Amino acid sequence: MEEELRRPFSLTAYGSQEVAVVILARNEERTIGEVVTGAASYAHEVIVMDGHSRDRTAAIASGLGAKVYTDPGRGKGAAIRQSLTLTGADVIVFMDADGSHDPADIPKLALPVIRGETDLCVGSRFAGGSDELSVGVGQLIRTIGNISMNIAINKRWRVALTDTLNGFRAVDRQAAGAIGLREDRHTIEQEMVMKMLRHGYRVINAPTHEYERKFGASHINIWKEWPKFVWCVVVNLVPSDLPKRKPPLPLDREAEEAQLETREL
């Protein structure tokens, strides 16, 4: 696979399956353009879930050919759940709009899912490196918390995951729609991992590098959010495992019709 990824990339590598990249964005006008352009080289479709941006994020993304939707306004988790109904792609790759994820890593995440090697492939910053793993007290707490949650999840399901919180990930769309995701905020990322495992789906990591965001600050307030991350782990570790099921996930036609018509701000 490494040799394949070093060659100039072609969408034919995905065979008959289609890949959509969903970019979660809010007030990222300075980086959204390069992220959309980069993602378009590795996907059949690029979708931007705009978190009610007050700048030109939506307009720039739309102008570059991305499908832009206004998310429900309840947080990243709600946007991710909505995005599952907005595409018919077989595999969805989620990534952020701040420039911290390298679009060239998209095939590294998507191909294991396409090849049937896994149902969810999460980028691992601990294997691929991160420019933010030890920057500031808040980030240090986030890193320690991530490691602690990894240990708990690994023990519960006898797996060996190194990163469960990274939002850069690829998932089988129908599987993601079958596990009953509920979280509205960033906690959906660990909820997705645990519920995939609980329903009998396979989860692996692939090394990806995390870059420091180029502008502004993270939208996560670690001091307010961290108790929610802990509680999310607790309530998802306790329930018994369930049988795998993957029913068809229909497109939400009302959401499709609600596609944002961007305009110059």
Work out the average pLDDT over 36-57: 97
Q: What six digits make up the tokens of 92?
A: 């969805």
d(CA 82, CA 89): 14
Assigned domain for 192 exists: yes
Q: Which carries the bigger pLDDT value, residue 138 or residue 189?
A: 189
Assigned domain for 259 exists: no
What does the pLDDT read at residue 142? 64
Work out the average pLDDT over 142-171: 90
Assigned domain for 255 exists: no
Q: Which carries the bigger pLDDT value, residue 3 or residue 180?
A: 180
What does the pLDDT read at residue 204? 98
How many domains, the chain?
1
Q: Which carries the bigger pLDDT value, residue 237 or residue 214?
A: 237
Assigned domain for 120 exists: yes
Assigned domain for 250 exists: no
Q: Which domain holds residue 228?
A: 2-240
Assigned domain for 87 exists: yes
| Burial (Cβ within 10 Å: 0-12, 13-18, ≥19) of residue 173 | buried
Work out the average pLDDT over 51-78: 95
**Residues facing residue 49 across a β-bridge:** 24, 69
The reported pTM is 0.85
Q: For 111-137, how does the pLDDT look when each residue is reduced to its tens digit (9 = 90+)?
A: 999 999 999 999 998 877 666 655 555
Assigned domain for 247 exists: no
End-to-end C-alpha distance for the chain, whole angstroms: 43
Q: Which carries the bigger pLDDT value, residue 4 or residue 150?
A: 150
CATH number for 167:
3.90.550.10
DSSP codes, the chain: -HHHHHSPP-GGGGTT--EEEEEEESS-TTTHHHHHHHHHTT-SEEEEEE---SSSHHHHHHHTT-EEEE--SS-HHHHHHHHTTS---SEEEEEESSS-B-GGGHHHHHHHHHTTS-SEEEEEHHHH-BSSTTSHHHHHHHHHHHHHHHHHHHHHHT---S-SS-S-EEEEHHHHHHS-----STTHHHHHHHHHHHTT--EEEEE--BPPPSSS--S--HHHHHHHHHHHHHHHHSSPP-----------HHHHHT-------
What does the pLDDT read at residue 108? 97
Assigned domain for 182 exists: yes
